[in-house]
Amino acid sequence: MARAAPASGAALRLAPAGDGRLTWVEAAGGPAAGGSRRGRAGPPGEDPLTAAAESFTAGEGWPVLVLHRDGDRAGVALVRGGGQQACHRWDPASRIPDFAEASRTARALASAFGVEDARPLTAVLRSNGFPAARRQEEALAALGLPPPPQEYGRTARTLEDVPGAHLLRERPAPAGPGGAAAAGGGRAPARPTRPAGARPPSARWWAPRAAAALVLLAAAGHAWWEWGRGGPGVLRPLLLTGAALYLSGRPAGALLGARTRLAAARTAPPEAVPPGDAGADGAGTGGPDGVPGARAGDGARGPAEHDAP
């Protein structure tokens, strides 16, 4: 989490969770950066902490579970690989999902967190018993995740008093021509981190493309050989060569682009400050150091957590 969270550019407060393999995360920049307004009952995916999770999980393999709590409503959302993959809400005004829908959501959540039997979670998702906060905690237990901090849903600074909590300042916007952007506070900036967006593509991304490029190159070579011996026209070898060059260029371009973004990110690293130096609004949890977590909110606040890779 500490390595990936700065990629979102948002002000976040982090604290260790469980046995240290998870990390709680909460938005800590006021209403603009901390979540939906009080009294607003938007789904989990609409709050800024979910947007931040989508940013810092891009290109990563570990999941983030975003928690949402607003009055008598609660919800969870699974964010992974830069996007939201599943979500669920316990709301007295909403219908109970049918078994097939609840099963799909439960399987997605269970698979992300390494739980083999999704049936207990399916039952929790189909339960409309209240309070909704209890159903949310039961879902966390079914996934083998720790319960949210005691103050979750009661205060905007859920993680402020959690041992080991620290704050990542919001990354300032780039200055205009002739201007300057300050990290603020006169503190020494944190060691530059490598944002998720600046990391080279994973093997799962480039391996199939590289394999396809090799196959097409071999096919193109054979087609040119046949053409040189008086075989069919030149169109076939030209098409195969073009396709092979296109597939070969994509992995190379992605690696070059990642290096360029990493070099640019190092010029404006976020600042790490002690807890309590800025207002908190929102809470979340993530995995071990370098692995983000999930968010739960009381309107605009709550915890988040995710499993270690």
193-240: pLDDT as tens digits? 444 444 556 667 767 877 888 888 888 888 888 888 777 777 888 888
What are the structure tokens assigned to 114, written together? 């390494």
Asked if residue 162 and residue 39 are part of one domain, the reply reads yes
Asked if residue 215 and residue 127 are part of one domain, the reply reads no
What are the structure tokens assigned to 153, written together? 């849903």
Is residue 188 in a domain?
no
- Model confidence at 161: pLDDT above 50: yes
In the sheet that holds 166-168, the strands lie side by side as: 272-273, 166-168, 12-17, 22-27, 283-286, 293-296
The predicted-structure confidence for 270-309, as pLDDT tens digits, reads as follows: 443 333 333 333 344 454 443 334 443 333 334 454 443 3
Give the Cα separation of 182 and 197 in Å (integer).
Answer: 23
Asked if residue 248 and residue 127 are part of one domain, the reply reads no
What is the tally of structural domains in the chain? 2
Asked if residue 141 and residue 218 are part of one domain, the reply reads no
Asked if residue 165 and residue 104 are part of one domain, the reply reads yes
pLDDT category of residue 1 using cuts at 50, 70 and 90: low
Look at residue 276 in the predicted model and tell me its pLDDT: 37
Asked if residue 290 and residue 252 are part of one domain, the reply reads no
Cα 193 to chain centroid distance, Å, stands at 16
Q: Which single residue is written with the structure tokens 């988040």?
A: 304
Pick from 23-27, 138-142, 150-154, 289-293 the range whose average pLDDT is largest: 138-142
Asked if residue 65 and residue 25 are part of one domain, the reply reads yes
Structural domain that includes position 250 = 199-265
Q: Which residues contact 22 (CB under 8 A, 6 or more apart)?
A: 16, 145, 146, 285, 286, 287, 288, 291, 293, 305, 306, 307, 308
Q: For residue 26, with 0-12 CB atoms within 10 Å meaning exposed, 13-18 middle and 19 or more buried, which class applies?
A: buried
